Amino acid sequence: MPTMTLAQALRNALDIALERDDRVMIFGEDVGKRGGVFTITEGLQEKYGEMRVFDTPLDELGILGMGVGLAAAGMRPVAEIQFIDYIWPGFDALYSEAAKLRFRSGGRFAVPLVVRSPYGGRVKGGLYHSQSPETLFVHTAGLKVVIPSNPYDAKGLLLAAIADDNPVVFLEHKRMYFMSKGEVPEGYYEEPIGKAKVVREGSDVTLIAYGMMVLDSLEAAKTLEKEGISVEVIDLRSLMPFDGEAILNSVAKTGHLVTVHEAPRTLGFAAEVAAFVAERAIEYLDGPIVRVTGWDMPFPYILEDAYMPNPVRIVRGVKKALNLL
Amino acid sequence: MSPRKTRSRKVAVGKEVLKKALDLTPFTDEPLRFIDEDGHPVADFSLEDVGLDAAMAVRIYEDMVLTREIDRMAWVLVRQGKAFFHISTTGHEGTFVPQLHTLTEEDWVAPFYRLPASLHVRGIKVEEIFAQYMGTRLDPLKGRQMPGHLGHPDHKLFAHGSGVGSQFAVAIGIARALQYRGKGMCIAYGGDGATSEGHFHSLMNFAGVYNLPVVVTVVNNQYAISVPRSRQTASKTIAIKAMAYGFDGFLLDGNDPIVMYYATKKLAEKARSGEGPSLIEALTYRLDPHSSADDDKRYRTEEEVKYWWEHDTLKRMRTFLEDMGLWDQDREEALRERVKAQIEEALNRAEEAGLPDWEELFHDVYAGETPWHLLEEKHLLAEELKERPLHNPLKGGH
């Protein structure tokens, strides 16, 4: 099995999708000749032509409006938003159109649209190249939200997202594009949307994470192991729908729950996990539910390290959940 | 001037007006038209000259009358408490009906909220239009939207939202899909107010850059609720905006069904054959308030409204047909009777259909398998409904 970076795995998935289904179209700012600012679409225009892989004017509303129209007319569009921080002029097309079209048409239209976009910090990107706004998409009924943490999942989940008849917001951690490497099968495969993965088994505490925070959580788990604390790490992979069963199974075993994300704390996805577990498994809990998150502030530039969740913050969160802090 | 000179001057002007319309002249300051404000031809021309035949000319008029009567009945439904809102089509029939008649089965429509009463031309059943107004089971949208929205993939009719101009951005993708497949075009509708939204700019810009097969139709009825066209844009016309996007814009008399048919047919064909997009500004007038929740006396004079009722597009079309020897009082009476019966029957069917299933609310959020959390929420509502009846607004009251 070849080893690929996250970027290569995503490119490979797009290549396969374009190859096997002539309804798939890829478009966005600089995705053509340039191959995307993160090179995810490199070489694809050359291979599939300018009707299948094309640059758009610099207009997120136009990009996402076009995505909805293509999907409504039977194509399988894959839109790239250069940075998720810039999606807002197009949010109307996502929030009011893509997410609601199936419902408002009485189930008659399908919207097989994938919106790919880099998110996340630790790249010295400042306010507008670092944010993690996933909660806003999760809170938009009608959208699915997927965030992979490794090349294998990224490819399988992206192919599943393209095959899905619903709009999927597919967030890729930009710090991981070239840093994250792993074995990836060459052919077509799908990883199921809505299914989490236990990436480390443990018995004392459940650590829920997604995207790059899976790596920080695994590092924290290693540190805690040395202190005799056994951490189970769950990679959520999909936030909408999310794998409630996997969370409950783990919490029933460990009795302690910590959720990690880069996004701001208040009403972040960790709040949903906390409410979900409190509502149906509070009897299993032997300690407080803890959130390890970014702060409730815009993302800072030069002091980004002050904002970013990290293994130390996660270790402290776990200890708090275990009433050790 | 002597009467003869006056008449010959009028004939000369008429010929000039006719020529401009036949040439489909872009970017004019005055709207192109084939019939004058009373409905008489501006100069001599044959139906063939304007791409029509007798059957289609009559059909357009009949469908305009049906549209008008559907719309009038919708107001009755509001007064009877059977519908909770209405957004009027009245006055726009001369724009929509002929345009929709120029489309083929390959073409798509990205509509907006003034079209519904006219959408029988696109294959939507009259009973479905009424069902949509009332939100009954026969509504293709299953009662999900307020009155004034219709869409159906089988009719290549986009199911638009309520955000003004939102369908413009979606039309980019519909047109791009048609361009990719190499057949069909998209007609994208919006009002004069919608041209202030970014969606209009997005569509115009993408349409120019990609040479999309789209005819953007701005229905300039001169008001966006209360705000007049002059407060939406300082541009002399809306049509002229196309120039900056690299294609032609046409100012048309939106109450002249003949020019609407002629121009749209030509521009749609141009789009289909890969020769690019066009902008139509159809100058018309909203004869009713914006909606059943509006009071237009606060911002329009009675004289102004009266003027436009006197030059109603229906009257103009009827006069034109009579001038052409295609219509008379007997036919008018027969049509009115037919339409009345058709509406009554359709209305009964729509009304009898009853409330849509509430269970389907949970299954129509996502295509395919319903996610677990929605199944749980459906169960919660089912339990709740064991303790209280679901309110049925169709049985009266709010």
Which among A52, A58, A60, A68 is the top mutation candidate for probing chain B, defined by the most B β-carbons within 10 Å of its own β-carbon?
A68
What is the rounded radius of gyration, in angstroms, for the C-alpha atoms of chain A? 19
Please say whether the beta carbons of A191 and A157 come within 8 A. Answer: yes
Res B397 pLDDT > 80: no
| Whether residue A240 sits in one domain with residue A171 | no
Interfacial B residues in 300-329 facing A (CB < 8 Å): none
With the C-alpha atoms ordered B13, B15, B17, B19, is the resulting torsion angle positive or negative? negative
Identify the domain boundary among A183, A208, A239.
A183
CA–CA gap between residue B217 and residue B95 (Å, rounded) = 9
| Whether residue A163 sits in one domain with residue A52 | yes
Q: Is the Cβ of A219 closer than 8 Å to some Cβ of chain B?
A: no
Q: What is the pLDDT of residue B396?
A: 66
For B37-61, write each residue's pLDDT tens digit.
999 999 999 999 999 999 999 999 9
For B165-187, write each residue's pLDDT tens digit.
999 999 999 999 999 999 999 99
**What value does the mean pLDDT take over residues B228-233?**
95
Please say whether the beta carbons of B243 and B27 come within 8 A. Answer: yes
Cβ contact B367–A110 (<8 Å)? yes
Q: What is the pLDDT of residue B9?
A: 85
CATH code, domain carrying A135: 3.40.50.970
| Whether residue A216 sits in one domain with residue A178 | no
User: Which residues in chain B have Cβ-Cβ distances shorter than 8 Å to A103?
Assistant: 144, 361, 364-365
Q: Is the Cβ of B176 closer than 8 Å to some Cβ of chain A?
A: yes
| Whether residue A268 sits in one domain with residue A167 | no
Cross-chain CB nearest to B176 (options A66, A164, A194): A66
Across A170-179, B17-26, B289-298, least confident range = B289-298
Q: Is the Cβ of A74 closer than 8 Å to some Cβ of chain B?
A: yes
Cross-chain CB nearest to B206 (options A57, A68, A241): A57
CATH code, domain carrying A286: 3.40.50.920
| Whether residue A215 sits in one domain with residue A66 | no
Q: Give the whole-number percent of chain B exceeding pLDDT 90.
A: 96
Domain ranges across chain B: 48-351, 359-395
For residue A31, which of A19, A20, A39, A21 has the smallest C-alpha distance? A39
pLDDT tens digits, chain A, 325 residues: what are they? 999 999 999 999 999 999 999 999 999 999 999 999 999 999 999 999 999 999 999 999 999 999 999 999 999 999 999 999 999 999 999 999 999 999 999 999 999 999 999 999 999 999 999 999 999 999 999 999 999 999 999 999 999 999 999 999 999 999 999 999 999 999 999 999 999 999 999 999 999 999 999 999 999 999 999 999 999 999 999 999 999 999 999 999 999 999 999 999 999 999 999 999 999 999 999 999 999 999 999 999 999 999 999 999 999 999 999 999 8
Range of the domain at A75: 3-183
| Whether residue A170 sits in one domain with residue A206 | no
Q: How confident is the model at residue B8 (pLDDT cuts 50, 70, 90)?
A: confident
Residues of A tagged active-site: 129
**What value does the mean pLDDT take over residues B77-92?**
95
Res B1 pLDDT > 70: no
A56: tokens are: 């758009």
Q: How confident is the model at residue B294 (pLDDT cuts 50, 70, 90)?
A: very high
| Whether residue A169 sits in one domain with residue A78 | yes
Interfacial B residues in 68-97 facing A (CB < 8 Å): none
CA–CA gap between residue B252 and residue B94 (Å, rounded) = 11
| Whether residue A263 sits in one domain with residue A214 | yes
Which segments within B184-222 are labelled E, that is strand?
Answer: 186-191, 214-220
Whole-complex ipTM: 0.97
Identify the domain boundary among A124, A151, A183.
A183
Cross-chain CB nearest to A57 (options B140, B209, B365): B209
Cross-chain CB nearest to B141 (options A106, A111, A164): A106
| Whether residue A94 sits in one domain with residue A143 | yes
Q: Is the Cβ of A102 closer than 8 Å to some Cβ of chain B?
A: yes
Q: Is the Cβ of A141 closer than 8 Å to some Cβ of chain B?
A: yes
For B310-354, write each residue's pLDDT tens digit.
999 999 999 999 999 999 999 999 999 999 999 999 999 999 999
How far from chain centre, in Å, is Cα B123?
14
For residue B282, which of B240, B316, B314, B253 has the smallest C-alpha distance? B253
Q: Judge whether A189 lies within some domain.
A: no
Burial environment of residue A114 by CB neighbours within 10 A (0 to 12, 13 to 18, 19 or more):
buried
| Whether residue A129 sits in one domain with residue A58 | yes
| Whether residue A226 sits in one domain with residue A275 | yes
Total domains, chain A = 2
Q: What is the pLDDT of residue B205?
A: 98
Longest dimension (CA), chain B: 86
Q: Is the Cβ of B357 closer than 8 Å to some Cβ of chain A?
A: no
pLDDT, chain B, mean: 96
Q: Judge whether A190 lies within some domain.
A: no
Q: How confident is the model at residue B10 (pLDDT cuts 50, 70, 90)?
A: confident
Q: What is the pLDDT of residue B5?
A: 78
Q: Where does B48-351 sit in CATH, by number?
A: 3.40.50.970
| Whether residue A207 sits in one domain with residue A101 | no
